[in-house]
Amino acid sequence: MIGRRETIYGLSALTLTGALSSCTTPEEDAHTTRLANFIEDHLDGGAISSSYCRTNSGVNAADLSTPVNSDFVQKLKDVGADTVLRYYDYGAFSDSGRNETLSGKRLRQFEIPIIRQAGLKLGIVFQHDSDVAETFIDWRKRGPEDAAEVLRLAEHFSQPDHSAIYFGVDNNFVGRENGGLGLDDEVLGYFDAIADAFVKAGAKYKIGSYGSGLTNRLLLENGLTSYRWLTASRSSGGTVRALRKQEFELMQIIPGDCGGRNIDFNMRREWRTDIGAFSV
In a domain? residue 241: yes
Q: Evaluate whether residue 68 is within a structural domain.
A: yes
Cα gap 250→225, rounded to integer Å:
14
Better pLDDT: 220 or 10: 220
- 276 domain-assigned: no
| Structural domain count of the chain | 1
Domain enclosing residue 213, as ranges: 13-19+26-268
In a domain? residue 4: no
Sign of CA dihedral 8, 11, 17, 21: negative
**Nearest CA-CA partner of 34 in 21, 22, 50, 20:** 20
Sign of the C-alpha dihedral, residues 149, 151, 154, 158? Answer: negative
- The CATH number of the domain holding residue 164 is 3.20.20.80
SS (H, E, C) 112-166: HHHHHHHCCEEEEEECCCCCCHHHHHCHHHHHHHHHHHHHHHHHHCCCCCCCEEE
Residues of the chain above pLDDT 90, percent: 80
Instruction: Determine, yes or no, domain membership for 6.
Output: no
Is the pLDDT reported for residue 6 higher than 60?
no
Helix, strand or coil, per DSSP, at residue 267: strand
With CA atoms as reference, report the closest residue to 135 among 88, 193, 49: 193
- Give residue-wise pLDDT tens across range 204-247: 999 999 999 999 999 999 999 999 999 999 989 999 999 999 99
Segment 15-53, tens digit of pLDDT: 444 444 457 888 899 999 999 998 998 898 878 999 999
Could you tell me if residue 31 is inside a domain? yes
How many Cα atoms occupy the beta-carbon half-sphere of 9 within 13 Å?
18
Residue 233 covered by a domain: yes
Global pTM value: 0.90
Kindly state the helix (H) or strand (E) to which residue 71 belongs, with its residue range. Answer: helix 70-79
Cβ partners under 8 Å of residue 68, min gap 6 = 84, 86, 111, 114, 115, 261
Angle between helix axes 111-118 and 70-79 (nearest 10 degrees) is 30
pLDDT value for 272:
87
Asked if 184 contacts 228 with a C-beta cutoff of 8 angstroms, the reply is no
Phi and psi of 119, rounded to 5°? 75, 20
Q: Is residue 116 part of a domain?
A: yes
